[in-house]
Every structure is written in C-alpha cells, then in structure tokens.
Amino acid sequence: MPYSDPEKQKAANRQWIAEARAQGRYKVQYPVSKTRKAAYRRRHALSLLGWSPEAYEAVREQQNNACAICGKVTDLVPDHEHIEPPKPRALLCQDCNHMLGWFEKIVRLGMIKNFTQYLAKY
C-alpha cells in the first residue's frame, strides 16, 4: 500500500529490498556498457545466420575485404543458405546480397525462362 509520505515509502522500499536480498529473491542489476551490448547484438545477429564473429573475421581476411561476387571492397554482409540451421556461404556487398536473394527466388519459382524471354524480346 503506497504511503502519503515519500520518506515512509522509501523506508518501506529499503526494508522490502533488504528482506528480499536476505531470502535471495532480489539481485542488483548492473548496467551493461554500450560496447558490450553492441558486441552481444552483433554476435546474436550473426548466430541467427549461422555465423560467429570469429568465422566472419576469418572469411573477411580470406576475401581481402572484397565481395565474393563482384570483388568490390566495401562493407560486407554475411550470406547464408536458407536452410535450418542456416549454412554460411561467403561475404557479399549489399547489392550482390540483394540480387542473389532475388535470383534465388526467381529460380525457386521457375521463372528464369520468363525473364530471359522478356530480356530477349526487348
């Protein structure tokens, strides 16, 4: 029940925390640094694609910071096979990654012949 006097409320809160700590129900949560949080997010995002930060760095060095398709030196994104669990392939630039995604969809839908006929027509 809330107290009308803020000092009584603070005292009641302190008492509750002390009792909860004694019973092991309350733990102090320390703030996480921004760099640690960013590193965690990066590791988690890469793991969803089947990559680890170590594997990413190893492949990036192996590819000399260049896209595996066009060879452009730019920011690289991890490419993966869309299976469960995801299987890492290579690092691509954003443009090649988008094009590869569309190409895979076109092939999967069996529309590659339609596209080549259309391009030949015009």
Contacts by 94-102, CB closer than 8 A, 24 or more apart = 95/70, 96/67, 96/68, 96/69, 96/70, 100/69
Place 120 in a pLDDT band, splitting at 50, 70 and 90: very high
1 pLDDT higher than 80: no
Counting other chains too, the contacts that 54-61 makes at CB distance below 8 Å and 24 or more residues apart are 55/88, 56/91, 59/88, 59/90, 59/91, 60/91
**Residue 39 identity:** A
What is the reported pLDDT for 30?
75
Tell me the CATH number of domain 33-121, given options 3.30.2350.10, 3.30.30.10, 1.10.1450.10, 3.40.1800.10: 3.40.1800.10
Return the percentage of the chain with pLDDT > 90, whole number: 47
Q: Give the chain's end-to-end CA distance (angstroms, integer).
A: 77
Distances (CA, A) of 89 to 15, 42, 50, 58: 56, 18, 9, 13
CB-count burial class (<10 Å; 0-12, 13-18, 19+) for 62 = exposed
* The predicted structure's pLDDT at residue 24: 82
Q: What pLDDT does residue 72 have?
A: 93
At 114, is the pLDDT very low, low, confident or very high (cuts 50, 70, 90)?
Answer: confident
pLDDT for the residue numbered 81: 86
| Structural domain spans, the chain | 33-121
Average pLDDT of the residues in 13-42: 85
Is pLDDT at 103 greater than 70 in this prediction? yes
pLDDT score for 67 = 95
Residue-level pLDDT at 82: 81
Say what the pLDDT of residue 115 is.
Answer: 85
